[in-house]
Structure 1
Amino acid sequence: MLLLVNAILTLWVSWAHGQEITCDPPIIPNGDFAPKMNQYGLDDVITYRCGNGFYPPLIGNKTECTVLGWRPRPRCVLKPCRFPEIKHGRLLHGNTSKYFPVYVGRSLLYFCDYGYTPPSQTSLAIMNCTQDGWSPVIPCLRKCSFKSLKHGYSPVTEERYVQGQTRTVMCHLGYGLQNPQNTMTCTETGWSPPPTCIPVKHCDMPIFENARAVITGKPFRPNDTLDYQCLDGYENRDGSTKGSMVCGKGGWSHLPTCFKSADKCGPPPAISNGDITSFPLKEYPPWSRVEYQCQAYYELRGPTDVICSYGKWSKPPRCIDPCVISEEIMNEKNIQLKRKDNKRYYVKTGDTVEFMCKSGHKAVTSKESFQAVCREGAVAFPRCE
């Protein structure tokens, strides 16, 4: 109502003084418009477009100069979320349409099917459109219950869990879960492994490689320990020549990993414009993995990590050079950046840079050349004269 009163007063004042109603050029972050003028008259219409990853918030991309200014207000918003498909649930009827975009910041109401629950564990929940997509990522979580356990210790009362939660299970002596651990996790399909205690066999004497048992005995009961000694010239990953393993419900905790000292690797290979992500060591045991990362604006090409094998590292990755866009080069070509200032900046390999001619100059290269692609430190600049 206040806007309408102001508009009427503006019209009256303009009529009384014989002044024409005009609009200044709009400011559209992340967008551009045409035609460009210093001033626009009443009912003038402009067309605007948004940059990569941004979209007009309404259907259409035109705006008109009115007594209230530019209407509808031109603006560019982040990429909308796709119509949500809720596994094991549904949207509340009538709160959106498949054919209408959902923009960042909007919320939708939904509910889950029987046996599933939202993370909030309420009957009706909210999902939000964010820059990274819908949140929560998993709208409906499976519900699991635990109340009885044959050949094991049951809870006093029924316990309830949701997808992702873990519960420790205690089986009677000689029994265990299907996996070597004593925990089960609530998954989309229910408990994994199922809350069932099955008979667990004893541990037999393992087959050693590059090691021998200190004390032999057969069979080994759960929780029994077996010590082993590496053969001459061999050692463990920690550099020692001795170790021990424990008989568990699913078998031995681990098997000896004795290797030759000559199979160790020295420091990982150095790469240009990059380094490893962990603190470097003087020596690395066989089958060690080391991860690499590149400096800012450099693109990692090849495997992310290297592996130590028989005293040698696998081939490391490379860090691909970015393209340098400088003001000096653009001045030589009579060009400028389309949506940035002309200061020096860096572009990753594969990214596109948009140029335009400077004022008073015309293009002498193709239209496609003004959308140049950075290729391993090199970019083909367009030219204007």
Structure 2
Amino acid sequence: MKSSLTLLCLVVWVNVDASSAQTVCSGTLPNVPDARVTEESIKNEYKEDDIVLFSCNFGFVPVGRISYQCKKNKWVVIRQGKCKPKPCELPDETANGHYRIHVGDDYVFGATIKYTCNDGQIVSKMDNRTCMVAGWSNHLPLCEVVSCVPEATDGRVVVSGLPDDDGVIQYGHELKFSCPNPAHQLKGNPQVVCAAGGMWNNHFPTCEDVTCEAAEKIKNVNVIGIPQNNNNMKYGHRLQFECSNSKHVLKGKSEVTCSVNGQWSHSIPICYEPKDFCGPPPHVNNGDRMGGTRERYRNGESVHYVCQKYYILDPPSAYKKCRDGIWTQPITCLKPCTVDEELMNTQNIQFKYPPEDQKVYATHGDHTTFMCTGHLRLSPGSVGFHQQCINGVMNLPHCQ
């Protein structure tokens, strides 16, 4: 009887020990960003196969379900959803203004946008809105429509760009100004723009009388026409010049006129003592002097030039003349053009009227006619077949 009782107690102890050894998930629950454990899933102890459900925090929406299960003392994911910030609709635009994201990277819960007027003139109390669960906070900010009032001008100035019927000139509008009378010149900026606060970015310009400054006293030159008070002279005023020494020569125009922009029509002349001799005549590229060359030429003497073969003299009967110690008259030897077979092959062309050899020296002004080789045709955009030599340059057609 005593032995049976001892065996029964042993069996009961073994059963209790097996029950206490059941698998349990202890420690912290899984961490899911922007989510929390649902109330119905909260327990003091989680046993084998227990499931924990998660719901998104305020302002976040689920993308799929989120659940974990207790397996062998560890939490195993069953459904791996996630929580994303709740999106807001695109913000409303405001007239005469714009917005940009001030806080955040997208139009989602917690993001803040800030409105700015085109001219910086906000009339609402709040210039920002925040994405909330129910949508955007605050009312849509308003921007005051800025306008500018034209400044008074005199009858000399012509203004272009004014609205018809004296309409409102809004922010960003541009006006342009001009002086139609050549006797007047614009003083100030030729354009002004309606800017922030209803202010013009520059003052309106004016049309002032065109004046030319009197030339400083020039050595050996008498100036006729300068006012007695030596004031600036207006548009159209004329000055005349003559040499104070009758043996001197006037170099430049003997009369100048005050013209547009306050400039004299020509440079102020000078007077100089003429020289009786010139040195050797100057060299002309690709040209030669006719006759011998001396070291000294008298005033009034001329030297004629001739160009090398295939070069053309410009002007045709060109010469340089010694005048007051200076050789006058510009002379140029215009270059010929060279066209050979190798050059034409690169363009797929040939002479329409072949010369005796396959090389042509075309003098300035001469024309040469080409044609395509074989069955080729003139390329689109190419010059024509009939070309002229212009001072060493001839454009060649291209065939393809």
Does TM-score exceed 0.5, indicating one fold? no
User: Given the two structures, how large is their TM-score scaled by the length of structure 2?
Assistant: 0.30
User: Given the two structures, how large is their TM-score scaled by the length of structure 1?
Assistant: 0.31
